Amino acid sequence: MIYTLMNDQLTVQICDRGAELHSIKGADGCEYLWQGDAAHWSSRAPWMFPFCGRQFEGKYMYGNTLYEMPNHGFARASDFAVSAQAEDSISFMLVSNEQTKALYPFDFAFFVSYQLLENRILVSLRVQNTGKEVLPFSVGAHPGFCTPINGKGTFEDCYLEFSDYCCPDKLIFTENLLPNGKRQAYPLRDGRKIDLNRPMFYSDATFLARTTRAVTLRSAADDHAVTVKYTDFPYVGVWTKPHDDHADYVCIEPWSGLPATDGGHRQLETESDTFRLPAGGEKTFKLEFELQ
């Protein structure tokens, strides 16, 4: 089912499947969100939980058991229930069940909440540990934004601009699309900008650490823009489908954690880049999308 939030500046649609954004339109009718196309990428803005990214051979270890896990976790393909709703806000909830425990043997509640405030969408991702064991997890966002913005210009007219000067590190991934534990400096144009071009995605996504935690998608051909603020997320990725000249979107992906390094199944008890929530605890991660 599709739910609609409205104020005088934005009309936003969200599907209960994955609690996924389906449309973000400004008052002038500009559609900011990629509308999905199976030929190029069928999703629009999936949420990642309980893990971000891939697992080695699609599997991980907990205790002495090997579990399978889909790419980016199972939340994106799960049906959420609405837990609260108003004209300009809505909250969705996913609770652990037999299906989730076959993949992830923990008790949890995962909430995705949206609120419109003028030209901004405030998002919170809240995880509750409803079980008796420590809950290891990571969360992430994967929204795809139209490039060109507002249908004007081309993909190559678009660029990303961080909110201030920064010297990020690029995380090095293997051909299996898993990190190898290494980093290298990633210089920015004018200390703040990344110019989009197709070749930069030939080997898949670019993931950065040590950024300013806010980045804006702009275009030289139009004044519309999208700012993603990700204060609670130490990593941000930039992705579009490789080798596809008609993939007219770019994904800006804040991640709270990374997959295990390539070469072996991650062991959750000793995994270093995973949040650990004690029994009865909860943790909230906040995001903000500002539309111009």
Given a cut of 50, the residues of the chain with pLDDT beneath it are none
Domains of the chain from N-terminus onward: 2-267+282-291 (2.70.98.10)
pLDDT of residue 207: 94
pLDDT of residue 264: 80
pLDDT of residue 260: 79
pLDDT of residue 266: 80
Rounded to whole angstroms, how far apart are CA atoms 119 and 63? 46
